Structure 1
């Protein structure tokens, strides 16, 4: 069966947002074009890494000799998006693998998200010489221009950072109910 591609070539909006309270938030990657909205579940760590890698690609492009694309160093003010996720948030799938790329023909960052694949027969080893390739049932592919990519990365890092404060002693998130940390020598 062919993969269903939820494609957005020039979306009106693409954001990472959350539902829930800090400590119990669920993260979503959401794209909208007109009235069509697609949301996929994403881990907090995936969100942060995606934003950081987008920033790296944009910085490399900005400093690349002979690059014909004008890449903004800062988020263009007109592209700042602090609005909540489009409601209702109904995830198409939970993201497993993501890929990130650059399309020089359209001067766009390309984000691909694939569903988390859980197989019942998980006897495979990461060193299996003949791993079974599973074609995903669906995927999300979003193509965004450099200014939108800069705004997406900035917002995503802000959303990730808006969670529970980090304990300066152990580096773990502090729970609202209280926090007990164990240092390596305390065991």
Structure 2
């Protein structure tokens, strides 16, 4: 089965570079979505790390058919905030590489797009945490989440790991550490 090449419609600006650890008392949650035009399917990936770069949790999920990359990115942003709350990490920096979604998450007021209600819900969930900062990162700083998302497209399930990763992304994890 061939899934073709990834379509990138999200703008990526020159913001934060390669993955960098969060401050001592915070966790970093990276998220990404991958969309394949040939199948119309999308995969999402989320990874939570501590200040030493160690894995707290990770997930990948095939979210099936989706309308756009930005919609998939908004959905995975919400999934990332929920995942952090479920893992009981309450001081988080949430990073993604879709600048439009991150701008919406950082903005004030309601966001009036097709995915505005998802942005609003993500902000609401983030507001229940002690500290939740949304931050844009270049793809180079989001490679592990991106790799999880790409591999999720091939799965029918949601896969979750606590304090570990699947073997098929271990090399990305090790090359990603500062």
TM-score, normalization: structure 2? 0.24
Higher relative helix content:
2
TM-score, normalization: structure 1? 0.23
